[in-house]
A and B are shown apart, each in its own frame.
Chain A
Amino acid sequence: MNVLLWVVFPYLCIAILVGGLIWRYRYDKFGWTTRSSQLYESAVLRWGSPMFHFGVLMVLIGHIGGLIVPKAWTEAVGITEHAYHLTAVFVGTVAGFCTLIGMAILIARRRLTGPVFAATTKNDKAMYLVLASVIVLGLWSTLRANVSGDGYDYRETISPWFRSLFYLSPDPEIMAGVPLGFQIHIIAAFALFAFWPFTRLVHAFSAPVGYLTRPYVPYRSRDPRPGLRRSRPGWEGPPRLPTRSGRDRG
Chain B
Amino acid sequence: MRVMAQMSMVMNLDKCIGCHTCSVTCKQAWTNRSGVEYVWFNNVESRPGQGYPRTYQDQEKWQGGWTRTRTGRLKPKAGGRLKKLLSIFANPKLPAMQDYYEPWTYDYEHLLTAPAGDDTPVARPKSLLTGEDTKVTWSANWDDSLAGGNEIAAGDPVLRQLSEQVRQEYEKAFLFFLPRICEHCLNPSCAASCPSGAIYKRAEDGIVLVDQDRCRGWRMCVTGCPYKKVYFNHRTGKAEKCTFCFPRIEIGQPTICSETCVGRLRYLGLVLYDADAVGRAAAVKDEHALFEAQKSVFLDPHDPAVIAAARAADIPEDWIAAAQRSPIWDLIMKYEVALPLHPEYRTMPMVWYIPPLSPVVDILRDTGHDGEDVGNLFGAVEALRIPVDYLAGLFTAGDPAPVTAVLRRLAAMRAYQRRINLGEDRDESIAAAVGMTGEQMDDMFRLLAIAKYEERYVIPAAHAEDAHHLEQLATDCSLEGGPFGESSGAPTPISIENLHMLRDRQTADSVAAPDDKEARVNLLNWDGKGRPEGLFPPKKDGANS
Contact = CB atoms under 8 A, between A and B. Distances in A.
Given A228-B463, A242-B314, A119 B204 contact: no
Contacts of A242: 314, 316
Nearest to B99: A39
Most chain-A Cβ atoms within 10 A of its Cβ — which of B188, B196, B214? B196
B196 A217 contact: no
A217 B510 contact: no
Given A115-B130, A227-B468, A227-B469, A203 B217 contact: yes
Nearest to B97: A39
Interface in A49-86: 49-50, 52-54
Nearest to A44: B90
A212 interface: yes
A49 B200 contact: no
A33 B90 contact: no
Interface in B303-360: 313-314, 316, 318
Nearest to A222: B204
B203 A26 contact: no
Q: How large is the interface on A (under 10, 10 to 19, 20 to 34, 35 or more residues)?
A: 35 or more
Given A206-B196, A227-B463, A227-B465, A211 B81 contact: yes
Interface stretch (B163-171, B284-292, B394-402, B485-493): B485-493
Contacts of A247: 4, 203, 313-314
B85 A208 contact: yes
A210 interface: yes
A34 B468 CA distance: 35
Given A32-B216, A230-B461, A217 B232 contact: no
Contacts, number: 168
B212 A30 contact: yes
Contacts of A26: 488-489
Given A26-B489, A216-B192, A231-B465, A42 B96 contact: yes
B197 A218 contact: yes
Q: How large is the interface on B (under 10, 10 to 19, 20 to 34, 35 or more residues)?
A: 35 or more
Nearest to A115: B129
B197 A42 contact: no
B95 to A, nearest CB: 8
Given A26-B489, A35-B217, A225 B89 contact: no
A123 interface: no
A167 interface: no
B429 interface: no
A206 B217 CA distance: 11
A125 interface: no
A220 interface: yes
Most chain-B Cβ atoms within 10 A of its Cβ — which of A41, A218, A242? A218
Interface stretch (B108-116, B233-241, B434-442, B532-540): B233-241
B478 interface: no
B349 to A, nearest CB: 14
B374 interface: no
Interface in B80-132: 81-82, 84-85, 88-92, 94, 96-97, 127, 129-132
Interface string A214-241: 1011111111010111110000000000
Contacts of A33: 215-217, 236-238
Nearest to B238: A33
B201 interface: yes
Given A39-B94, A211-B85, A220 B202 contact: yes
A214 B197 contact: yes
A40 B235 CA distance: 11
A114 B486 contact: no
Given A33-B238, A218-B201, A229 B89 contact: no
Given A30-B212, A30-B238, A217 B217 contact: no
Given A33-B236, A119-B234, 13 more contacts: A26-B488, A29-B213, A31-B236, A34-B216, A35-B217, A38-B90, A53-B89, A208-B196, A218-B197, A218-B200, A228-B250, A230-B316, A247-B203
The 6 tightest CB contacts between A and B, nearest first, are A208-B195, A35-B237, A216-B192, A29-B213, A33-B217, A33-B237
23 contacts: A26-B488, A31-B500, A33-B215, A33-B237, A34-B237, A45-B90, A115-B97, A115-B127, A115-B130, A208-B216, A209-B85, A210-B197, A211-B84, A211-B197, A218-B199, A221-B202, A228-B465, A242-B314, A244-B203, A244-B204, A244-B314, A247-B313, A250-B200
